[in-house]
Amino acid sequence: MSGPSPRAQRVERVRAAMAASGVEALLLSLGADLPWLSGYEAMPLERLTMLVLPADGDGVLVVPELEAARVEPAPEVFELRPWAEGDDPVALVAGLVGGRRRLAVSDRTWSTFLLGLQEALPGRQWTVSSRMTGPLRAVKDAAEVDALAAVSAAADRVAAALLGGEIPLVGRSEREVSDELGRRLLAEGHDRVNFAIVGSGPNSASPHHQAGPRRIGPGEAVVCDFGGTMAGYCSDITRTVFTAAPPAELAGIYSILHDAQAAAVDAARVGAPCEDVDRAARERIAAAGYGAAFIHRTGHGIGLEEHEDPYIVAGNRTPLVAGHAFSVEPGIYLPGRFGARIEDIVVATGEGPRPLNTASHELTVVG
């Protein structure tokens, strides 16, 4: 006997979350909520695509007629409502909402559509859909964990090439190395490259440095943080390599970072609040005197999006449950001089934290 499909189960869980929040209709356009629920991703275009999911009725996917054929396979859980050129899709959505007053709209809906809807639907209460979908999407089912493991393994193979010295660094620009990391992500099975940060020398101290024309020299730290999407799910890994054996001070900092990252992974146990994972890394870095140099949260959830719930940050008391997938990526940054970060994706399981990235963390010198 087969029960409800995974997508039908997701719809039921969303309906329960809507009921708990008193939301009468969910309006999903751009972003990952719609593909998570329906398998269909709206095109980021001036033509509106929007799922209207009432708490008390069947869902309707309002979609431009010329894109209706792309809704494949047909979402079993929704009716399709194609609209033709010349139709007013905002009015169509407003008609489907009807008299419902408490509405949730996907976080990434363009303001041009939201403002039009607010004009067409005066006097309503609006909230973001992530209030309901975020905690649900954060808990991955077995198929999603498999997808994350596969895409993480593909990113690991690129990291292994970096650590193994197969990707030349000295004398090349950050941009060239970034391009090569991207090409290798695609060669290892990614469908899309989302980012490939390469920060060398002083640029290593800027956590989100945009790879640029700077030529990588000998005796530098090079932070490489890259990821992409494969079969819908995202990878994200950081390794810091050195182009010559670093002086003792920097080797010591790397060792502190290595231990802090391992401690945070070890703290990522079912039942532990997210902020405890952050604290595990932060306490070790602070105890070594570098607390002020760790200027970002320890991690973010990952799935259909690179950054999603749960956030591994002070103040997030959400307890980890089996299926939570997130990055553990502490860093230490000395402005103008040096920076290092180590990042793995980890899944919380009943048997303990399961790192999906296994490329070496050891201090690595490459040319």
Which spans of this chain sit near Zn ion (rule: CB under 5 A)?
Answer: 225, 236, 238, 327, 343, 361
Would you say 59 and 19 are in contact if contact means Cβ atoms under 8 Å apart? no
Nearer to Zn ion, 174 or 225 (CB): 225
**Cβ neighbours of residue 175 closer than 8 Å, sequence gap 6 or more:** 198, 211, 212, 213
- State which residue has the least CB distance to Zn ion: 361
Nearer to Zn ion, 29 or 229 (CB): 229
Nearer to Zn ion, 54 or 182 (CB): 182
Would you say 293 and 281 are in contact if contact means Cβ atoms under 8 Å apart? no
Query: Could you tell me the smallest distance in angstroms from the CB atom of residue 1 to Zn ion?
Result: 41
Query: Could you tell me the smallest distance in angstroms from the CB atom of residue 266 to Zn ion?
Result: 12
Would you say 334 and 322 are in contact if contact means Cβ atoms under 8 Å apart? no
Nearer to Zn ion, 25 or 359 (CB): 359
Query: Could you tell me the smallest distance in angstroms from the CB atom of residue 163 to Zn ion?
Result: 12
Identify which of 44, 57, 49, 10 has the alpha carbon closest to the alpha carbon of residue 27.
Answer: 49
* CA atoms 179, 180, 181, 187: torsion sign: positive
Query: Could you tell me the smallest distance in angstroms from the CB atom of residue 337 to Zn ion?
Result: 21
Query: Could you tell me the smallest distance in angstroms from the CB atom of residue 42 to Zn ion?
Result: 25
User: Biggest alpha carbon distance in the chain?
Assistant: 68
Query: Could you tell me the smallest distance in angstroms from the CB atom of residue 120 to Zn ion?
Result: 39
Give the span between the Cα atoms of 117 and 334, in whole angstroms. 47
Nearer to Zn ion, 184 or 361 (CB): 361
Tell me the CA distances in angstroms from 363 to 38, 199, 245, 257, one per residue in order: 44, 17, 9, 11
Nearer to Zn ion, 188 or 225 (CB): 225
Query: Could you tell me the smallest distance in angstroms from the CB atom of residue 7 to Zn ion?
Result: 28
Q: Report the relative pairing of strands 59-64 and 233-234 from DSSP bridges.
A: unpaired
Give the span between the Cα atoms of 282 and 263, in whole angstroms. 10
Nearer to Zn ion, 52 or 181 (CB): 181
Identify which of 361, 367, 346, 366 has the alpha carbon closest to the alpha carbon of residue 238.
Answer: 361
